[in-house]
Amino acid sequence: MWRDLRPVGRHPDSGGYRRYAWTGADTDCRAWFRDQATARGMTYECDRNGNQWAWLGDPAAGDAVVTGSHLDSVPDGGAFDGPLGVVSSFAAVDELRARGAAPTRPLAVVNFGDEEGARFGLACVGSRLTSGALTPKDAGRLRDADGVSLPQAMERAGHDPQAIGADPERLARIGAFVELHVEQGRALDLTGDPVGVASAIWPHGRWRFDFHGEANHAGTTRLEDRRDPMLTYANTVLAARKRARLAGALATFGKVAVEPNGVNAIPSLVRGWLDSRAADEATLTALVEAVERAARERGDRDGVGVHVERESFTPVVEFQHALRDRVATLLTGDPDRPAPVLPTGAGHDAGILSVAVPTAMLFVRNPTGVSHSPAENAAEDDCLAGVGALTDVLEGLACR
């Protein structure tokens, strides 16, 4: 499975993946998912929001155990973020059959659409739509860099955008969702464990900062006469780093757009996107307010207008303790020696669904801690340990 999926959407120059929602690479990934379901005799379906499902047992019976992740990527992302969870889920189904384990509850593998938000700027679109966290009206406002709307992109890819929206009936049929994911950090490498369990997801969000200045000639405009938004933006980036360090939190300006974007022109507009995360919402709110305050203070000095708009926000996610603790025990078989439990600053579909469904997450060791990069990695032995752990969890939840 890994060999077949790995070339899809891989850029020949960077070595990273560009599997953006509702593009050709995404279509190829979705075809791969359907082929895997068909090869196993699983019932395949694509729901109203474009999420793909492969079922063992009757989907309508209720109290289903679901596992899976996503197949899309960030720009030039790594091979493991998302796909490892989907590949491991199908492998766990194979292992359950090899063990002769017969599910007594419906069991499904899912591929959630547009988890990374690389194309339309909002993460976890498929699970947000399904849970009702994203309304069809707001989804219709999402645009990519070329001005193509989400509904237009879905329609071009052969999906009916008129059908999107909350799907409470589907969620009501799910008794538990367990997502396996490559660790996006080095906690397991430091403890020496191949697999761990998530305790919580930090609250996180994305904010757009618009810096409005005045376009002018780079070679004839005196420095003291300039209203250069690039200076205000640069100062804000540095301020975000300093304030995040002091707060024990995270702040990243990872995307920027400049107008008119000429080498010999002072910009009229610099637009930067802040990704910020913290252990609790009070810290996160205070951090973003401090960054905005620093931006406005510098903007006043530079003659630059500053506008800030929150584009997305996900509150803290505490995974259901009963399910989390059961999963941790199933991994070792010893209630007195559960698997390591660790928090994460990364968002996931499991976090979005947690408001409606009991959810849990497994992490597979990442020896470098690098993620969202072609350098992302996990050793084969650890990946196989992840498959074994997920199989144990699914057997414990769905077969007993």
Amino acid at 309: E
- Give the list of residues 6+ apart from residue 363 with CB closer than 8 angstroms, or none: 180, 181, 182, 183, 188, 195, 196, 197, 198, 342, 344
Q: Which residues of 256-294 are buried (b: 16+ CB within 10 A; e: fewer)?
A: eebeeeeeebbbbbbbbbbbbbbbeeebbeebbebbbeb
Contact call for residues 288 and 227 (beta carbons, < 8 A): no
Q: For residue 385, give the nearest of 201, 183, 176 by alpha carbon.
A: 183
Residue 264 known to bind ligand = yes
Locate 237 and state its tokens.
């980036």
Residue 307 known to bind ligand = no
Residue 204 known to bind ligand = no
DSSP structural state of residue 97: H
DSSP string, 305-361: EEEEEEEEEE--EE--HHHHHHHHHHHHT-TTSPPPEEEESS--HHHHHTTTS-EEE
Residue 372 known to bind ligand = yes
Residue 193 known to bind ligand = no
If one counts every other C-beta atom within 10 angstroms of the C-beta of residue 152, the result is: 15
Residue 296 known to bind ligand = no
Locate 164 and state its tokens.
């999107």
Q: For residue 70, give the nearest of 122, 6, 23, 19 by alpha carbon.
A: 19
Q: For residue 80, give the nearest of 16, 23, 149 by alpha carbon.
A: 16
Is the bond into 343 cis (omega within 30 degrees of 0)?
no
H or E element that contains 253: strand 250-259
Point out the annotated binding site: 70, 81, 116, 181, 206, 264, 277, 372
Point out the annotated binding site for allantoate: 206, 264, 277
Point out the annotated binding site for Zn(2+): 70, 81, 116, 181, 372
